Amino acid sequence: MMAAMQVLMLRLAGSLHRHRRLVLAAWAIVLVAALPFAARQSDRLTGGGFAVPGSQAEAVQQALQHDFDAAERAKLGVVLIARKGAGAADQRAALERLDRAAARIDHVGSPTARSSGRPAAARTRSSCRCAST
């Protein structure tokens, strides 16, 4: 059986070698004929089902973009450490600078200053309208 397969492959190799120009021309014709079909495949292919109208994947993707748009943004924590000898006025000034910086950024609220020496927190605003199932 193995010898028969070997003989067949040797005949095929010899035939391809003798008619190599014809084989090359046939491949070129097939390639040229396939180009218009290949160029239009992006119109027919979808990105993992997300672009199929009415699919569950599309509904989830739209809900995520609508309800959790702010969640995709990076989160940033700010830690203020008082220098040695810094008084309450210095700490309040640092919090005010942080407040002004946070006010210039979308979806970031003002820090909540506390005079008790506990940490202040910058809170994010979100307009999440979550649907229950």
Q: What is the pLDDT of residues 78-91, one digit of tens each?
A: 778 888 888 888 88
Q: Looking at the 3D structure of the chain, how many domains does it have?
A: 3
99 assigned to some structural domain: yes
Q: Which domain holds residue 22?
A: 1-41
Closest CA to 78 of 26, 121, 116, 42: 121
Q: Are 62 and 94 part of one and the same domain?
A: no
Report the distance separating Cα 16 and Cα 11, nearest Å: 9
Residue 106 belongs to a domain: yes
In a domain, residue 132? The reply is no
**Model-level pTM?**
0.32
Q: Is 65 found in the same domain as 84?
A: no
Kindly state whether residues 1 and 37 are assigned to the same domain.
Answer: yes
pLDDT-derived band of residue 13, with 50, 70 and 90 as boundaries? Answer: very high
Do 83 and 69 have their domain in common? no
| Mean local confidence (pLDDT), 67-77 | 64
Check pLDDT > 90 for residue 119.
Answer: no
**What's at 56, amino acid-wise?**
Q
In a domain, 130, yes or no: no
CA dist 62 and 79 (Å) reads 35
pLDDT of residue 25: 97
Do residue 11 and residue 28 come from a single domain?
yes
pLDDT value at residue 28: 97
User: Cβ(114)–Cβ(130) under 8 Å?
Assistant: no
The verdict on 88 and 108 lying in the same domain is: yes
For residues 23-27, average pLDDT: 96
Distance, in Å, from the CA atom of 121 to the CA atom of 102, rounded to the nearest integer, reads 11
Whether residue 69 is found in the same domain as residue 82: no
Q: Is the pLDDT of residue 64 over 60?
A: yes
